[in-house]
Structure 1
Amino acid sequence: MQHEFVIEAAGERLAATKITGADGAEPRILALHGLGTTATRHRVRYLLDALADHGHASLTFDFSGNGDSTGALTRSTLCRRRTETLAAAGQLAKNGPPVLIGTSMGAHLAAWTVPELRPRALVLFCPATYPAHAADLPFDGSLVRPANHPDSPAYAALRRFDGDLLIFGARQDQVCPPEVIEGYLDHARSARSAEVVWLEDCDHFVHRWLPGQESLRDDAVHAVLRLLAA
């Protein structure tokens, strides 16, 4: 089942979807999409629908300037999207710590919000990181490229993470180098567990590629389900 609604955040209206199972339980999973003009909350539905089939409800939304949300992408910043992430997290169930699923830029935001949200698990697809000075740069061509930036606020926040970390890396990723994943692992030293799943023939656009790879898609779903059951 799904429920469409709107989240008010920083003067924008964010299009959001709750995906629930048969029991109708409120979601404790928040999914964050990546950067780009075509990025939307729908890309990861193949995963969220599968999780709902196993009783794990989730919430996903379009950041301002993307999809069905208001706003202009060129006026957005990482700081603005962090504020929107926290607003969306306020719609999650309050009976336990959340699980954050982040893709590319969404992974950076998931890690950056660890101090506030205190998630029990992070599931990161092709994670990006940005340096501290990039937080207020608009998405008008000013934003620096993802790299293993030592001063990234995502890394700094991740040092406080004590839950379970699952990363899906793409061997053919032309956007985020493998050193970024090494950086996530290096800074997640307090995590209860950390695992990396490498997708050998996948490029950065993992949610375009993975749904068509039946066996690998099922493996990815089961990896996330194992994490949720831990």
Structure 2
Amino acid sequence: MSEYLDTAQGRRIAYHRSMGRGPGVVFLGGFKSDMTGTKALYLQDWAGARGQAFLRFDYSGHGDSSGRFEDGCIGDWAEDAHAAIESLTEGPQVLVGSSMGGWISLLMARALPHRVAGLVTIAAAADFTERGFWAGFSEAQRATLMRDGRIELPSEYDDQPYVITRQLIEEGRKQLLMTGPLSLPFPVRMLQGTADLDVPMGWALDLLDHASGEDIRLTLVKGADHRFSTPDCLSMIAGAIEDVLA
């Protein structure tokens, strides 16, 4: 059963929290995904078996949280994550960010460095609104987006199309991480599948090259796709968190 956090921005964030020892683990999900996904539930069980504190939540417009998905943008979802970490956890946390959650976790590392004990990213989609959507649009698609304020893209994960809004693109430009310094002064473990069709392997290499820190490692998994949810992949995520906690 979800609990709810009311944020200063007037949004109601659904979450599930397991109490335990610290550093706690916070799972940050992907674009249009929710906290009932395979990775989130696997990690809750993993944390429970270890007696580790664990938090999963839905960004606004996702899952059981308030708001409409297409009204949100990266800054809103980063604010949701900020509120969840500050209000629902104590002390330093290991942030586990999947896809868009990887971008959000990196934004949290910049905004709340004192609350981050380490970082594990899975197919981190840093700057994807610009590097993925906008860069991949045709001139006709860009014109439609600017004129109508939205464009619909087919989704391979859902019957409903992705609605990409002009606001998502334009606000995303205020959140870009690959255009300025990115200091990660704690253990970072990045995981990336080579068969990922949503987040290119080259993005992981770019992030590794771009970020500064003493303990940053990237693991490429041959044949793994964007879901990164096979038993082997899930075990690898848990192992990366254990490595950071150690």
Q: TM-score range by the shorter chain?
A: 0.7 to 0.9
- In the alignment, which of 185, 189, 213 is matched to residue 208 of structure 2? 185
* TM score, norm. by length of structure 2: 0.74
Instruction: Give me the CA root mean square deviation.
Output: 2.7
Instruction: For residues 34-66 of structure 1, give each alpha carbon's deviation from its aligned partner in whole angstroms, at most 9, with x where no partner exists.
Output: 002xx1112221023212311321111011111
Task: Letter of the 1:185 partner, please give it.
Answer: L
Task: Letter of the 1:106 partner, please give it.
Answer: G
In 1, the alpha carbon distance for the partners of 2:224 and 2:200 equals 13
Q: 1:75, 1:140 within 8 Å by CA — same for their partners in 2?
A: no
What's the counterpart of residue 36 of structure 2?
42
- In the alignment, which of 60, 63, 70 is matched to residue 64 of structure 1? 60
What's the counterpart of residue 108 of structure 2?
113
Task: Letter of the 1:18 partner, please give it.
Answer: R
Structure 2 spans left out of the alignment, 5+ residues: 134-148, 151-161
In 2, the alpha carbon distance for the partners of 1:170 and 1:86 equals 28
Task: Letter of the 2:83 partner, please give it.
Answer: A
What's the counterpart of residue 129 of structure 1?
126
Q: Which moved more, 1:125-134 or 1:68-77?
A: 125-134
Q: Percent identity?
A: 23
Task: Letter of the 2:111 partner, please give it.
Answer: E
Q: 1:97, 1:117 within 8 Å by CA — same for their partners in 2?
A: no
What's the counterpart of residue 16 of structure 1?
15
* TM score, norm. by length of structure 1: 0.79
Q: Which moved more, 1:219-228 or 1:116-125?
A: 219-228
In 1, the alpha carbon distance for the partners of 2:73 and 2:236 equals 34
In 1, the alpha carbon distance for the partners of 2:2 and 2:122 equals 24
Structure 1 residues 161 and 69: alpha-carbon distance in aligned structure 2, compared to 1, 3 A threshold: same
What's the counterpart of residue 84 of structure 1?
80
- In the alignment, which of 199, 206, 218 is matched to residue 196 of structure 1? 218
In 2, the alpha carbon distance for the partners of 1:177 and 1:127 equals 10
Q: Which has the larger radius of gyration?
A: 2
Q: 1:130-169 maps to which residues of 2 (within 5 A)?
A: 130=127, 140-142=163-165, 143=168, 153-155=176-178, 159-169=182-192
Structure 1 residue 178 displacement after superposition: 1.3
Q: 1:19, 1:49 within 8 Å by CA — same for their partners in 2?
A: no
Structure 1 spans left out of the alignment, 5+ residues: none
Instruction: For residues 9-55 of structure 1, give each alpha carbon's deviation from its aligned partner in whole angstroms, at most 9, with x where no partner exists.
Output: 222211101123xxx4477322110002xx11122210232123113
SS of the aligned residue for 2:87 comes to: coil
In 1, the alpha carbon distance for the partners of 2:10 and 2:187 equals 34
What's the counterpart of residue 3 of structure 2?
5
